[in-house]
């Protein structure tokens, strides 16, 4: 890996000249909109950020909510006799959980290409419409083959959601703002557990002579998602330069403020050299193995969580209600660790620390006698804190990757790992092992320890890359140590008061020569600073 990185470095100057010869859309936009009033204050930037949060973040939050609701509907209906109504035997229920992620895994390469070539907002809206339709149609399925087929279709369309959310986060927010935004939309998983449990509790009381209860739940959730897709299609812009909800000046500020990220914005041009670099980049595999380990654990709990709680000795409706605190704990864990990672700017350390609580919970569920319902339930709630690890990995890889094609491909690799883990996870559990589920819980414990170890070691490699970039800057006659402007918190940015742009001609030149808006990868851009 080190040799590959050295080879990349040797041709860096030539690649930079090529990059600068190819003007990105962001560069064209900024140079064409340059006026005497291009300098903007911190207060103006804050106002634009607030507008972005109110429009873009809210749309992303609920898109992720509906994806999680529709995906988790299988777990909700499992306690209402799905196995008996659809005549499921052996590992067939487990396969209904795994097949969705198998579909997502297969689709990830195509998703990466789609996100590079097509407008992100339209891709997101279309995906929501299609997976909502698939879930609504699933209400007509009454046997294993038809349920398996529709779950595969559901997973195929849902494969776009997380890569879209990551791409949108990279496109609209500074790196210092990205961790919390990723935490916000991932926290919707917890909100889904709360609202989904309440919806299921209510819909589960509906008795029909023509429909099974699981069919009613599938149909309701699917149609609700379809309605939301039209709202996303209408309101979600494809990039800051094309946002009709912003004035021309606000578009300029929204684009200009991202220069410090040194990541580019959106170029809609597939680059094979970027794709090759993803494979040769060692940190890609750090993210991959981190996400696959935590996804093995979360995949099993996601599919079997309700059955595990029911095995403590609760009835179906009690099980639903006890899943509500599970969601609340997930939300709190995600938001607290997201805040900690933003405040400390040490994601590896926070992830390693976050792996301790679910490890303790898994040990409790493996060792506490079954008659101690309260202690077992407490252990289950500790395991739920693992939800905080996944968004930190998403944010970590997003903040440390630059170049439009490379960003999409790296996200694709990460989500392949996520899908693979979620395929494996449910298969480590079996209804025949009820009520102990020892195989699955032991595997989960091993995964929590592994992800903590990887997260603790990865920062040392990122420090090595920063030292290489610093050495390269010195060789090019630039300043060696540099401040990472994209990671300044709001108080530090407020002290500067304004973006200093003294005259328009010089500002145009700086935009065109600035690596921050060129379609350059992080390994080739010596100005890129890695986040630990």
pLDDT at position 482, please?
Answer: 66
pLDDT at position 491, please?
Answer: 53
Sorted by sequence, the CB contacts under 8 Å of residue 91 that are 6+ apart come out as 427, 430
Nearest to 458 by CA among 350, 532, 355, 354: 532
CB 308 within 8 Å of CB 368: no
Total tally of structural domains belonging to the chain: 1
Dihedral angle sign, alpha carbons of residues 203, 205, 207, 212: positive
> Two tokens at 502?
């003294």
CB 61 within 8 Å of CB 184: yes
**Using 50, 70 and 90 to split pLDDT, how confident is the model at 25?**
low
Q: Is residue 61 part of a domain?
A: yes
Task: Summarize the confidence of residues 488-510 as an average pLDDT.
Answer: 44
Q: What are phi and psi of 3, to 5 degrees?
A: -65, -40
Q: Is residue 29 part of a domain?
A: no
Most confident of 199-213, 227-241, 246-260, 313-327: 227-241
pLDDT, tens digit, 9 for 90 and up, residues 221-254: 999 999 999 999 999 998 888 888 888 888 888 8
* Res. 36: pLDDT tops 70: no
CB 102 within 8 Å of CB 152: yes
Quick one: three-class SS letters along 303-362? HHHHHHHHHCCCCHHHHHHHHHHHHHHHHHHHHHHHHHHHHHCCHHHHHHHHCHHHHHHH
Task: List beta partners, residue 498.
Answer: 41
**Using 50, 70 and 90 to split pLDDT, how confident is the model at 502?**
very low
**Using 50, 70 and 90 to split pLDDT, how confident is the model at 385?**
very high
Q: Is residue 360 part of a domain?
A: yes
Task: List beta partners, residue 41.
Answer: 498
* Res. 35: pLDDT tops 80: no
Nearest to 530 by CA among 283, 301, 198, 293: 283
Residue 244 burial by Cβ neighbours in a 10 Å radius (0-12, 13-18, 19+): exposed
pLDDT, tens digit, 9 for 90 and up, residues 345-354: 899 999 999 9
pLDDT, tens digit, 9 for 90 and up, residues 162-183: 999 998 998 899 888 899 999 9
pTM: 0.81
Q: Is residue 75 part of a domain?
A: yes
Nearest to 153 by CA among 123, 125, 126, 131: 131
Q: Is residue 430 part of a domain?
A: yes
Q: What is the CATH number of the domain that holds 162?
A: 1.20.1250.20
> Two tokens at 45?
């930037």
Pairwise CA distance, residues 431 & 424, whole Å: 15
Q: Is residue 52 part of a domain?
A: no
Q: Is residue 280 part of a domain?
A: yes
Sorted by sequence, the CB contacts under 8 Å of residue 405 that are 6+ apart come out as 116, 269, 270, 271, 274, 275, 519
pLDDT at position 90, please?
Answer: 75
Range of the domain at 171: 57-264+271-469
pLDDT, tens digit, 9 for 90 and up, residues 330-384: 899 999 999 999 998 899 999 999 999 999 999 999 998 888 888 888 998 999 8
CA atoms within 13 A on the CB side of 510: 13
Q: Is residue 275 part of a domain?
A: yes
């Amino acid at each position: 890996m080190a040799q590959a990185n050295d080879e990349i470095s040797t041709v860096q100057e030539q690649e930079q000249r090529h990059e600068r010869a190819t003007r990105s859309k962001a560069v064209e936009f900024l140079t064409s909109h340059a006026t005497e009033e291009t300098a903007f204050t911190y207060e103006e930037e804050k106002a634009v950020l607030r507008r972005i949060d109110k429009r873009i973040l809210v749309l992303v939050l609920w898109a992720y909510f509906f994806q999680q609701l529709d995906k988790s509907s299988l777990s909700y209906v499992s306690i209402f006799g799905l196995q008996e109504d659809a005549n499921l035997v052996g590992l067939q229920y487990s396969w209904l959980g795994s097949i969705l992620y198998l579909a997502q895994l297969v689709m990830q390469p195509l998703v990466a290409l789609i996100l590079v070539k097509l407008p992100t907002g339209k891709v997101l809206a279309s995906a929501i419409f299609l997976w909502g339709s698939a879930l609504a149609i699933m209400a007509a399925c009454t046997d294993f083959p038809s349920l398996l087929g529709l779950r595969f279709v559901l997973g195929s369309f849902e494969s776009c959601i997380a890569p879209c959310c990551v791409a949108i986060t990279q496109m609209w927010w500074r790196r210092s703002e990205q961790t919390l935004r990723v935490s916000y939309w991932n926290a919707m998983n917890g909100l889904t557990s709360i609202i989904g449990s309440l919806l299921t509790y209510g819909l589960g009381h509906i008795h029909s002579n023509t429909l099974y209860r699981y069919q009613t739940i599938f149909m309701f959730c699917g149609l609700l998602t379809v309605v939301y897709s039209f709202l996303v299609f209408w309101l979600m812009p494809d990039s800051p330069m094309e946002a009709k909800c912003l004035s021309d000046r606000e578009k300029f500020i929204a684009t200009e403020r991202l220069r410090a990220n040194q990541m580019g914005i959106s170029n809609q041009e597939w680059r094979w050299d970027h794709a090759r670099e993803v494979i040769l980049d060692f940190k890609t595999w750090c993210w991959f193995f981190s996400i696959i380990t935590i996804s093995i654990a979360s995949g099993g709990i996601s599919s079997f969580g309700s059955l595990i709680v029911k095995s403590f000795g609760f009835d179906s409706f009690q099980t639903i209600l006890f899943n509500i605190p599970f969601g609340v704990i997930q939300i709190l864990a995600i938001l607290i660790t997201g805040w900690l990672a933003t405040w400390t700017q040490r994601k590896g350390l926070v992830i390693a620390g976050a792996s301790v609580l679910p490890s303790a919970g898994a040990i409790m569920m493996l060792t506490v006698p079954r008659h101690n319902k309260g202690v077992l339930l407490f252990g289950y709630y500790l395991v739920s804190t693992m939800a905080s690890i996944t968004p930190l990995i998403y944010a970590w890889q997003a903040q440390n990757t630059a170049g439009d094609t490379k960003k999409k491909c790296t996200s694709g690799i990460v989500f392949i790992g996520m899908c693979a883990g979620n395929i494996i996870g449910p298969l480590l559990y079996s209804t025949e092992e009820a009520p102990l589920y020892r195989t699955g819980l032991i595997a989960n414990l091993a995964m929590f320890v592994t992800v903590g170890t990887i997260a603790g070691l990865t920062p040392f490699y990122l420090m090595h890359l920063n030292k290489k970039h610093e050495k390269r800057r010195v060789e090019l006659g630039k300043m060696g140590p540099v401040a990472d402007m994209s990671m300044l918190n709001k108080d530090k940015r407020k002290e500067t008061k304004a973006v200093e742009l003294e005259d328009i001609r010089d500002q145009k030149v700086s935009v065109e020569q600035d690596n921050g808006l060129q379609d350059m990868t992080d390994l080739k851009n010596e100005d890129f600073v890695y986040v630990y």
